[in-house]
């Protein structure tokens, strides 16, 4: 066999291999979109045109075996500029006392229990003034499955973390040692759940933002991309979203171009704005919505859709 034939043979094998992998990834993706839970009726959230910022709400719910309803345990909002690829990741304090459309004021995480992800999205929109285009909901099990499918993550745990819940045979207890270490899905869940220190939910949301950036970095590595079909398969039973297949493809392409090192992470409401107060004997957070909106839109240089008026530029 001459050199030309050898070259053609190798090239043919490579092309067939790439085509086979592309087919495998395409099959895995469409299998995933067919298995995730979609809303029973058409989503009432605004459509993303692909030109303006896209805002995706990420909810982690504390739903355990046998439970029928639950409140959202973690509320995050990713806001991405499709032109500049600038990305802000906001974590919303779950004890924020807010107006829930159609209902009385309550803690923001109550909105999910009352009306599911669509009502939660409208509540977050009312607080932030940002249109919420998409939501993704997962529970503790889904979170663990994703991290394990990626082979876990390596990160620094800032302090010893210990908490006994005395529930589910100790499954949700937290035991982590300070230091750089490898976290599997179960350990990673402990890291993002821990809030039993002086700053409570403030430091917990900070850790959640930190962890998501590490996870995003892992997804973009060769190992993460190679394991993507396994990740999708592991996630599918635990995910609810209003995204269709086309939406997922557009967002996946956009997310791949994001420089994770440049993602800005913020708490909502920020400490300089919030006030703590007591409602019905319980301590909650007053997010001061007008100031919170001004703060967010000052960062993003976007109009507040809930008022219809553009925000002033920072000087």
Residue 236 has pLDDT above 70, yes or no: yes
Res. 35 pLDDT band, cuts 50 70 90: confident
Sort residue 181 into left (φ over 0), alpha (ψ -120 to 50) or beta.
beta
Interval 94-119: pLDDT, tens: 899 999 999 999 999 999 999 999 99
Identify each DSSP E strand in the chain by its residue range.
54-61, 72-80, 87-92, 97-98, 106-107, 134-139, 153-157, 161-163, 174-176, 179-183, 240-241, 264-268, 275-279, 282-286
Q: Is 257 helix (H, G, I), strand (E, B) or coil?
A: coil
Q: Which of 312, 296, 299 is nearest to 124 (CA)?
A: 296
Q: Which CATH homologous superfamily contains domain 36-300?
A: LCP protein (3.40.630.190)
Residue 160 has pLDDT above 80, yes or no: yes
In angstroms, the Cα distances linking 92 to 8, 53, 109, 195, 206 are 56, 19, 10, 14, 10
DSSP conformational letter for 269: S
The pLDDT value given to residue 314 = 36
Report how far residue 213's alpha carbon sits from residue 76's, in angstroms, rounded to the nearest whole number. Answer: 12
Res. 92 pLDDT band, cuts 50 70 90: very high
Report how far residue 15's alpha carbon sits from residue 222's, in angstroms, rounded to the nearest whole number. Answer: 19
Interval 245-286: pLDDT, tens: 888 888 888 887 888 888 888 999 998 998 999 998 888 999
Report how far residue 231's alpha carbon sits from residue 247's, in angstroms, rounded to the nearest whole number. Answer: 18
Residue 21 has pLDDT above 50, yes or no: no
Contacts of 237 (CB under 8 A, 6+ apart): 35, 142
The tokens of 38 are what? 């979609």
Res. 77 pLDDT band, cuts 50 70 90: very high
Q: Which of 263, 249, 275, 264 is nearest to 93 (CA)?
A: 275
Task: Give percent of the chain above pLDDT 70.
Answer: 82
The pLDDT value given to residue 33 = 74
Check residues 56 and 232 and name the one with the higher pLDDT. 56
Report how far residue 262's alpha carbon sits from residue 266's, in angstroms, rounded to the nearest whole number. Answer: 13
pTM: 0.80
Average pLDDT, integer, range 60-71: 64
Contact 287/276 with Cβ under 8 angstroms?
Answer: no
Residue 66 has pLDDT above 60, yes or no: no
Report how far residue 134's alpha carbon sits from residue 101's, in angstroms, rounded to the nearest whole number. Answer: 18
Res. 16 pLDDT band, cuts 50 70 90: very low
The pLDDT value given to residue 307 = 67
Residue 177 has pLDDT above 90, yes or no: yes
User: How many H helices and E strands in the chain?
Assistant: 9, 14
Task: Give percent of the chain above pLDDT 90.
Answer: 38
Res. 22 pLDDT band, cuts 50 70 90: very low
Task: Among 20-24, 82-86, 193-197, 223-227, name the one with the lowest average pLDDT.
Answer: 20-24
Contact 176/182 with Cβ under 8 angstroms?
Answer: no
Task: Among 21-30, 215-224, 228-237, name the one with the lowest average pLDDT.
Answer: 21-30
The pLDDT value given to residue 6 = 53
Q: Which residue has the tokens 């398969």?
A: 233
The pLDDT value given to residue 117 = 93
Residue 190 has pLDDT above 80, yes or no: yes
Average pLDDT, integer, range 11-28: 49
Contact 46/123 with Cβ under 8 angstroms?
Answer: no
State the helix-helix crossing angle for 140-149 and 228-235, rounded to 10 degrees. 170
Residue 132 has pLDDT above 90, yes or no: yes
Identify each DSSP E strand in 145-257 by its residue range.
153-157, 161-163, 174-176, 179-183, 240-241
């Amino acid at each position: 066999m001459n050199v030309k034939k050898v070259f053609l043979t190798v090239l043919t094998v490579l092309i067939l291999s790439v085509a086979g992998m592309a087919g495998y990834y395409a099959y895995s993706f469409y299998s995933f979109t067919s298995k995730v839970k979609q809303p029973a009726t058409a989503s009432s959230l605004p459509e993303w045109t692909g030109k303006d910022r896209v805002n995706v709400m990420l909810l982690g719910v504390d739903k355990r075996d046998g439970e029928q309803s639950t409140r959202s345990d973690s509320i995050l909002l990713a806001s991405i500029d499709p032109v500049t690829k600038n990305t802000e990741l906001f974590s919303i304090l779950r004890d924020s006392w807010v107006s829930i459309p159609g209902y009385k004021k309550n803690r923001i995480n109550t909105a999910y229990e009352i009306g599911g992800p669509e009502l939660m999205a409208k509540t977050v929109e009312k607080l932030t003034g940002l249109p919420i285009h998409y939501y993704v909901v997962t529970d503790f099990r889904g979170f663990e499955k994703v991290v394990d499918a990626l082979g876990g993550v390596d990160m620094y745990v800032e302090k010893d973390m210990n908490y006994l819940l005395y529930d589910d045979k100790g499954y949700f207890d937290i035991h982590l040692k300070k230091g750089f270490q490898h976290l599997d899905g179960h350990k990673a869940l402990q890291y993002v759940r821990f809030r039993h220190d002086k700053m409570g939910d403030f430091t917990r949301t900070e850790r959640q933002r930190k962890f998501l950036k590490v996870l995003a970095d892992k997804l973009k590595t060769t190992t993460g991309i190679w394991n993507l079909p396994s990740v999708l398969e592991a996630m599918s039973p635990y995910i609810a979203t209003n995204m269709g297949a086309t939406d997922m493809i557009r967002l996946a392409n956009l997310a791949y171009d994001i420089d994770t090192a440049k993602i800005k992470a913020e708490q909502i409401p920020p400490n300089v704005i919030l006030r703590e107060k007591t409602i019905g004997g319980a301590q909650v957070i007053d997010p001061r919505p007008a100031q919170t909106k001004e703060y967010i839109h000052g960062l993003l240089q976007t109009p507040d859709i809930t008022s219809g008026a553009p925000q002033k530029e920072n000087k």
